Structures are given as C-alpha cells and as structure tokens.
Copies of this chain bind each other. A is one copy, B any other.
Amino acid sequence: MGVVVNLDHGREDAITHLTSLVRAELDATNRVIVLRMQSPVELIPRLAAHLVQAGGKRLRPLLTLASAKLCGHEGGRAVNLAACVEFIHTATLLHDDVVDESQLRRGLASANAVFGNKASVLVGDFLFSRAFELMVEDGSIAVLAILSRASATISEGEVLQLVTANDTGSSEEQYLEVIRCKTAALFAAACRIGAVVADRPRAEERALEAFGLNLGIAFQLADDVLDYAASQVLLGKTVGDDFREGKITLPVLLAFRRGDAAERAFWKRVMETPEAQTEADLPEAMALLEKHGALRDTIARARHYGDIARDALRIFPDCAIRRALDGAIAYAFERTR
C-alpha cells in the first residue's frame, strides 16, 4: 500500500500541543459540557455521556478556544461557546449514526447500538436545543446567526449526501459540496466565533472562517482516505465502513473515473447495491484505489485545502497559537502517512 497509518506518536503531538496552549479553557469547557448535558430525565445525561466521555480530541471546541486566544480573547465566553459547538457536533454524530446504522464510534459501541435509534434521535434533539440555550445565555445575536446557519448547512449537507451517496455518477464537485456542508461548515463556524467573542475586525473573522472551512475539508478528505487505510484498533473506526455503506467518497470517485469498463462495473455493483457485497470486494476495492493512486491523490487534494487554511492565518502575527494551528493542519495529513 502506498498509504499506511502513521504510528509515530511524535507526529500526533500537533493536537496535543495545541491543546496544551488552551488547557485551562478546554478543562473549563469540559466542565460546562458535563454540567449542561444534565436533565431530570436521566437517560439523557447517560446517553450523552456515552458519546461525550468516549473522548475524541474535542477538535471543534479546541478550534474555538484557540481562535479566541489567537484574537486575544481572555474571558469565559469562548469556553461556553466551545461547549455549544461540541453539543451541535455531538447531536449530528448521534443522528449520523442512526442514519448510517453504525455499530461503532471511536472504537466503542455507538449510542444507537447501545440505547437504540429512538433515544439517539431524541437525545440529539435535546443536545441541539441545549446548544441554543447556551448561546442565548451568551446573548450574542452574531454568534447565534453563525451557529444557526452552520446547523442548517450541516443538515443540508447530510441530506445531499443521502441522495448522492450510492450514485457513482456524482461528481467531484458534488462531493466537495457535501463535505463543505456536513463537515467544514462547523469547523468554519467554530473558528469564526473565536474572532466574534474577541470583538475583532471582520477581516479577522473572515480569515478564521476561511481557515476553519479549508481545514475542515482537508480533515474530511483525510478521513475518507483513513477509511481505506487505517486499522480499526488504532482509530476506533471500522475499516471499510464507507465502502460497506456504499458511500461514495473522493478516493472512490477518482478510481471510478480512472478505471476501465470492468472496473467501473465493479464500483457500480458494490456502491449501488452495497448489501450484496462479498468478502472479496473490499480487498479488490483497495487494490483498485492503489492501482490508480486514488488515496495518494485524495491526500494531494486535501493538501491543497490545507495550504489555503495556512495562508488564511497569515494575517495574524506569528505566535505560539498560530504555529500550533499550522501544526493542526499538518496533523490532518500526517495521520494518513
């Protein structure tokens, strides 16, 4: 394989390092998260905790906190809004897992597998509403506008993915639109509100929004590669999840376009009727991805967005936080090397 999982923990330090720069704020955000997912209906905190405490890197709240710090913000508003961003993200994960019928999430049984689809739908709704309650407490209409727009965009992206998911005829453009909406919009909003709470000029708001948007696209493209290249144990993901769902990601689009008639027929069969896949299909798909350099070139596409993200940050003075955010971009690809 041209693409293997990076086991060098030194490289993973980019996120750890960024985290260390906003450690106190992130700890405070985690306390807000635990406090505000409480409800007299005890299944709600229990189910929410299953997902929230499963950990993950808290990447989105981390981006809000780091963006706010880059803008010189020192108050508690970023802490609370970082919790909002994580609640919105967690709500979409809960609904995603129901839609995808996923059995695993970050290496643990997914919430829908443990608590059922019904509870996952409803607790997702609760977390979403709670996120808006937290924003209302913050009191900024500008923040509410950014995050309500991002939320609507996420659902539009999810629906678009649903209708194009098994269609090998969908274009790279359509695919980019899906990930721009379903993943990158929240990254963009998370970063942008850092500038809003710091009351910085619109140019800095736009710069952080562009940074987040392009970082989000890069991350999603790298994730799509990882679905074919990573081991389940290391990443807490089921390898080939996207493949088994017939989810058409950029690696598949590239291999499909570059393939001959027989290969295209293969992709059509496995993507359009994923429930009829056989055990030999995933290895065959991986061989075709390798043959056409589809994973390598998806990473090249991701790198393009990473470059834009890096340049967007250049209007901020060189400092520890900016360098750490640069590092976060590099991390997106290093996971895949």
Contact = CB atoms under 8 A, between A and B. Distances in A.
B162 A119 contact: yes
Interface stretch (A120-128, A204-212, A256-264): A120-128
B126 A99 contact: no
A40 to B, nearest CB: 7
B126 A98 contact: no
A144 B159 CA distance: 26
A95 B148 CA distance: 19
A156 interface: yes
A228 interface: no
A267 B130 CA distance: 37
Nearest to A142: B136
Interface of A: 39-41, 43-44, 91-92, 95, 98-99, 117-119, 121-126, 128-130, 132-133, 135-136, 139, 141, 144-145, 148-149, 151-152, 154-156, 158-160, 162-163
A160 B99 contact: no
A129 B158 contact: no
Contact of A148 (B91, B132, B151, B158): B132
Given A123-B155, A126-B152, A141 B132 contact: no
23 contacts: A39-B156, A40-B156, A41-B156, A44-B156, A95-B121, A98-B121, A99-B122, A121-B121, A122-B159, A125-B155, A126-B155, A128-B151, A129-B148, A129-B151, A130-B152, A132-B144, A132-B151, A133-B149, A133-B152, A135-B144, A136-B141, A136-B148, A144-B144
Given A121-B121, A136-B145, 12 more contacts: A43-B159, A91-B125, A98-B117, A98-B118, A98-B121, A117-B117, A129-B152, A129-B155, A132-B151, A133-B145, A135-B144, A139-B141
